[in-house]
Amino acid sequence: MKYTHLGRTGLSVSRLCLGTMNFGPLTDEPTAFAIMDRAQETGVNFFDTANVYGRRQSPPGQVAGQDESHAGWTEEIVGRWFAQGGSRRERTVLATKVYGNMTDWPNDSRLSALNIKRACEASLRRLQTDYIDLYQMHHIDRGTPWDEIWEAMEVLRHQGKILYVGSSNFGGWHIAQAQESAKARNFLGLVSEQSLYNLIVRDVEREVLPAAEFYGLGVIPWSPLQGGLLGGAARKAREGKRRAEGRSKETLEARRAQVESYEDFCDELGAEPPTVALAWLLTRPAVAAPIIGPRTPEQFESALAAVDLDLDDKSLARLDEIFPGYKTSPEDYAW
C-alpha cells in the first residue's frame, strides 16, 4: 500500500479509503469484519463512515439474519469490530460524519452547536472509541453561522474527542468561506473535502479542486465508479451478469457509447475498468484517497490493483477524450 498526507496535515493515510456504507444493509456483520481485517492486512488504514449509515437501501430480507435497519447501524458494526482488540482501533484513521437526520425530532440534524455535540458523543458510543480522527460535515448548513460551527468543533478538539475536521459535498466558495472564518479564529479549519468525483462526473474540477489545492485540503472522492458504471457495466449487461435499474440504467443508456469506448480502452491497457477508474483518480490534483465501498471481499481485492497501476500521459489524454473534463473557472466558460 502507498500512503500520502491528508491535505496539509502530517496525518498519513492510505491511497485507498475503505468506505463502510454497505455494512449492515447490504453486507452482513461477519463479512464486514472480514473486509476490515483484510483492509488492515493490506495496509489500508483509512476508514470512512457516517452517523446516518445503516438505513436499508435494498429490499427487506436481502441480508440474511438482519431484522432491522437504522441510522447508526454501520457505526455500531465498526465499533464491534474495534472492540475485538488486536490494535484495530490504533491502526485505523477513523472518519465519520455529522449532519443527516438521525430522528425526525428538531435539533437531531444539521450543524448547530447542540447537534454537533450530541452527534459526536453518540458516534463515539456506537464506534466504541474515545476519539474520531476526522470529523466531517456531511453537507453545507446554510442556516448555521460559521462562528457557531467552528466554536463547537474547537470545543470537541480541546476535549480530545476529534482531531481534524473535514467537509463533504461543499462548493468551492463554501470551502473558502469555511477557511477564512477558521483563519480569523486561529483555528486549523478544514483539512479535507469529500466530493462526488469520477471519470463521468467531473464538475468539481471547475472550483472545488482549485479551492482544495489553494487551502491545502485533501480530496476524498466518493462514488469513484459512478454507481458501478465504470466497473464494466456495459460488458456485464451484454453478458447478462448485471441488470442496470433506475438511475444507473438511464445513465448507462445515455452514456453507452462512452462507457463501451472506455471498456475497450481498458482492454487495450490490460486492466480491469474499476482499476483504471481508481488509478485515474489517484493522478488528480489534491486527491488523497478515493473511497472504495466493497460489498464483498472479492470487490475489495479487485480495488487494490489501482494503487500499482501507473497511467502515462498518453493514457490520461485518451481518458480525457472519452470523458471530457472541465477547466478551472472562469476559463471553463469565459476567456
Please report, rounded to a whole number, the percentage of residues in the chain having pLDDT higher than 90.
Answer: 90
Residues in Cβ contact with 314 at an 8 Å cutoff, skipping those fewer than 6 apart: none
CATH number of 3-322: 3.20.20.100
What is the pTM for the complete model shown? 0.95
Residue for grid cell 448507462:
252
Average pLDDT of the residues in 231-236: 91
Mutual orientation of helices 172-184 and 208-215 as an angle, nearest 10°?
Answer: 20
The pLDDT-based confidence of 237 (bands split at 50, 70, 90) is confident
Out of 17-26, 226-235, 259-268, 310-319, which region has the weakest mean confidence (pLDDT)? 226-235
Residues in Cβ contact with 115 at an 8 Å cutoff, skipping those fewer than 6 apart: 98, 107, 108, 109
Q: Is the pLDDT of residue 247 over 90?
A: no
**Would you state the pLDDT for residue 26?**
95
The active-site residue, picked from 53, 99, 164, 262, is 53
Half-sphere exposure of 293 (CA within 13 A, CB side): 21
SS3 at position 191: strand
Cα 293 from Cα 18, distance rounded (Å): 6
Q: Is the pLDDT of residue 97 over 80?
A: yes
135 in catalytic set: no
Cα 233 from Cα 267, distance rounded (Å): 14
Q: What are phi and psi of 134, to 5 degrees?
A: -130, 110
In the chain, where the domains are located:
3-322
Q: Residue 287 carries which DSSP code?
A: B
The model's pLDDT over 160-178, given as tens digits with 9 standing for 90+, comes to 999 999 999 999 999 999 9
Alpha-carbon separation of residue 138 from 87, 122, 288 (angstroms) = 28, 16, 18
Q: What are phi and psi of 275, to 5 degrees?
A: -65, -45
**Would you state the pLDDT for residue 250?**
82
The pLDDT-based confidence of 60 (bands split at 50, 70, 90) is very low
Cα 201 from Cα 153, distance rounded (Å): 31
**Would you state the pLDDT for residue 244?**
63
Q: In what order do the strands lie in the sheet with 162-168?
A: 218-222, 190-196, 162-168, 132-137, 93-98, 46-48, 17-19, 291-292
Average pLDDT of the residues in 212-219: 98
At 187, list the grid cell: 483555528
Average pLDDT of the residues in 299-312: 96
Average pLDDT of the residues in 34-54: 98
Cα 327 from Cα 175, distance rounded (Å): 19
**Would you state the pLDDT for residue 210?**
98
Residues in Cβ contact with 2 at an 8 Å cutoff, skipping those fewer than 6 apart: 14, 15, 307
* Burial class of residue 199, CB neighbours in 10 A (0-12, 13-18, 19+): buried
Alpha-carbon separation of residue 264 from 180, 194, 227, 287 (angstroms) = 46, 30, 19, 26
β-pair partners for 175: none
